[in-house]
Amino acid sequence: MSENEQTVQKAPEAKTSLKEELKIIFSSSRAFWLVNLVNFGEGIAYFGILTLLTLYLGGSVGMSDAMTGISVSTFTGLVTLFMFGGGFVSDKYGVRKALTIALVLLFSGRVLLGFAELPSQMGLQPVGYVMSWAAIVLMALGSGILQPALYAGAKEYTNPKVSAIAFSFIYAIMNLGIVFENFVSPFIRTDEPFIGNIHGLGWGIMGVFLSCTALTGVLLLAHMTLFTKKTEKECRVAVANEEENKNKTWKQRISEMPFRDARFMWFIFILLPVQTLFAHQFLTMPDYIFRVFPAEVAAKFEWINGINPFIIVIFVPLIAMLTRNVSVFKMLIIGTSISAATTFLLIGQQPDLTLLILYVIIFSLGEAAWSSRFYEYVGDLAPVGQVGAYMGLAGLPWFMAKFTTGLYSGSMLSHFVPKDGIQHPGEMWLIYAFIACISPIGLLLTRKWIEGGKQKA
């Protein structure tokens, strides 16, 4: 075991008060806040596009429900799949370079996506499909590199004593970007009245996409200007043996990851069923709301969708602070149980806006209870210089959840919530609720086995 690895393991043993931890986190290095500048901006751009992607592909590009579901699911699945390889990019080249590469790819993909509707308008739908899929690959590769780089930055540029809060900040600030996006997006997209006589711009979905693309370009310029080599070197707190990491082959890096730890692999994969609910937030929820609820509700869809990140921004850091001495495993059981059980609120056959909003609120509280703590667990497990790779491994179940959910989400919508005809949305959500319950039940049944392995480690 290297000296650096020993330092990482011993750091959490030092006890500090909540006030001291907050003082440390808010006095973090310039590099940590520059990482979070990209984190905030990308939260706006990524989710601004993802939230409306099903509507864009199904409407402007002309894809069927099934093809749209598969395309969006492929995008989100590739994001997480690329995180595995993308994690090695930040480990090998550093956080700064990884973020630069990611932003270039994201900007290129978003420009291409904006042009994908033009062939369809000229009756050349197959060309539009190919352009959309090419854009999806570019954007997914960029996001796959960017996400582990953000968490690697949280570890490298902050004091190890406040790892729980640092990782919760990464998660919360990303969601702060989503809150901003969800508030502004309807104003850009529709011409509905919002405050008094102030109406939206009415630029449509394409207006939102263009705004997100422009923001990505601004982020790239700001990052390259402000995040210099000097800043990266001066602000790094956790330093790996760079020469040793540089000489390692891809095979050696992969062999050092905990693939052979059955307990750890089960621990991350048992979360797959409940993670399908997160995939349904962008694969199913947009069409569900637009097809089941009145037009005035659909016009402000992003506001409903924005309740989730708003709660995350407030409660992820708060819960992380209040439960920093509670085991990750307990928080996972509590959080996944809340998220899964809340889905039963949607099993009624008649649309109910109150129940929908209540579902989003409670579901979000469940997410806040365990999401960032899981990444903290993986980050603490990873040696310095391998955080990106470990984050990529931890994302594999999320990849499977997003990809497999898209394989059936479009067909389920067509069957239970068709555009025209009799709709049975409650039955669809009942099926999804039962699937999600597998996670907390599985965690409870295997708790002693998993925690036993942790004690022996």
**282: CATH:** 1.20.1250.20
What the block records as the tokens of 40 is: 């905030």
Average pLDDT of 180-207? 78
Number of domains in the chain: 1
Comparing 109-123, 131-145, 313-327, 418-432, the range with the smallest average pLDDT is 313-327
4 located within any domain: no
- pLDDT at residue 146 tops 60: yes
14 located within any domain: no
Question: What is the per-residue pLDDT across 271-302, written as a single tens digit (0 to 9) for each?
Answer: 889 988 888 887 788 888 888 888 888 777 77
132 located within any domain: yes
5 located within any domain: no
- pLDDT at residue 2 tops 70: no
pTM of the model: 0.67
63 located within any domain: yes
Using CA of residue 86, residue 88, residue 92, residue 94, what is the dihedral sign?
A: positive
2 located within any domain: no
45 located within any domain: yes
Q: How confident is the model at residue 13 (pLDDT cuts 50, 70, 90)?
A: very low
Average pLDDT, the chain: 79
6 located within any domain: no
Domain of residue 388 covers 26-456
- pLDDT at residue 221 tops 90: yes
Are 371 and 41 within 8 A, CB to CB? no
Comparing 186-195, 327-336, 421-430, the range with the smallest average pLDDT is 186-195
Average pLDDT of 210-237? 87
Residues with Cβ within 8 Å of residue 277, at least 6 apart in sequence: 339, 340, 343, 363, 432, 436
